[in-house]
Amino acid sequence: MTPPPATSDSPRQPATHASPQQLAGPDQPACVREALAADQRKPASVARSAVAPSQSARVRHPICPVFDDRSRVLLLGTMPSPASRQVGFYYGHPRNRFWTVLARLFGEPVPATVDVRRDLALRHGIALWDVLAECTIRGASDASIGECVPNDIAGLLKKAPIEAVFCTGAKAAQLYSRYCEPSTEIEAIRLPSTSPANASASLEDLVEAYRRILPYCRS
């Protein structure tokens, strides 16, 4: 079988994207394994309806925040997409350019597994989480988000030496401003979304925009 042609935002390497089985392995944090196990226990009809693109479903955030005592910059999305929830880590859609952008910024290979992705973020002082703990959403459509319950971003900021907050998309910035900024008292800087839905932004555009995080990152 002829392999599909490589795109401009996918690395030309043997293991460009890891499978869900590779990404959601036993090395995941306990909160991730428990959330994935709960999803697997759902009846098939429930699982199908939860990801049906034409229907809204109530979703709870299943992924632990990524941070440690080296973290200086916090990157926030809205809510993990169905693909990210399936693999149990942030920006998990194979066409999302987030990890390619970070790899370009730091001159490293594009990370293809959860462990390597987590290590890349932490080594460079990057913390990852999302604005929402719970919401209704249709598929991965940020425009459909409603009935929001925010994550405790202020609580996270007390646990890590975060100096700047960035939101990876317009909806994340809007939700952060409404639900989180009153308690964090830190204004978030809006970055463009790396989602494949943001097709108007080239990979080069995204890399240039994300250079704004570099003054807060570890080399």
pLDDT tens for 167-182 read 999 999 999 999 999 9
Contact 166, 212 (CB under 8 A): yes
Mean pLDDT for the stretch of residues 41-67: 67
Supply the range of the domain harboring residue 83.
22-216
Structural domain contains residue 101: yes
pLDDT beyond 60 at 23:
no
Structural domain contains residue 189: yes
Please give the distance of CA 201 from its chain centroid, rounded to a whole number: 18
* 70 phi, psi to nearest 5 deg: -95, -10
Q: Please give the tally of structural domains in the chain.
A: 1
pLDDT beyond 50 at 38:
no
Structural domain contains residue 16: no
Parallel, antiparallel, or unpaired: how do β-strands 132-138 and 141-150 relate? Answer: antiparallel
Query: Taking the C-alpha atoms of 136, 139, 145 and 150 in order, what is their torsion angle to the nearest 10 degrees?
Result: 60
Structural domain contains residue 12: no
Strands of the sheet with 126-130, listed across from one edge: 126-130, 73-77, 164-168, 189-191
Dist. CA 21–CA 74, nearest whole Å: 27
Structural domain contains residue 13: no
pLDDT beyond 60 at 101:
yes
Mean pLDDT for the stretch of residues 48-58: 62
Q: What is the CATH number of the domain that holds 201?
A: 3.40.470.10
pLDDT beyond 70 at 37:
no
Q: What pLDDT is stored for residue 3 in this prediction? A: 45
Mean pLDDT of the chain, nearest integer: 83
Structural domain contains residue 32: yes
Higher per-residue confidence, 45 vs 211: 211
Lowest mean pLDDT among 38-47, 130-139, 162-171: 38-47
Mean pLDDT for the stretch of residues 44-62: 63
Structural domain contains residue 4: no
Structural domain contains residue 17: no
Mean pLDDT for the stretch of residues 38-47: 40
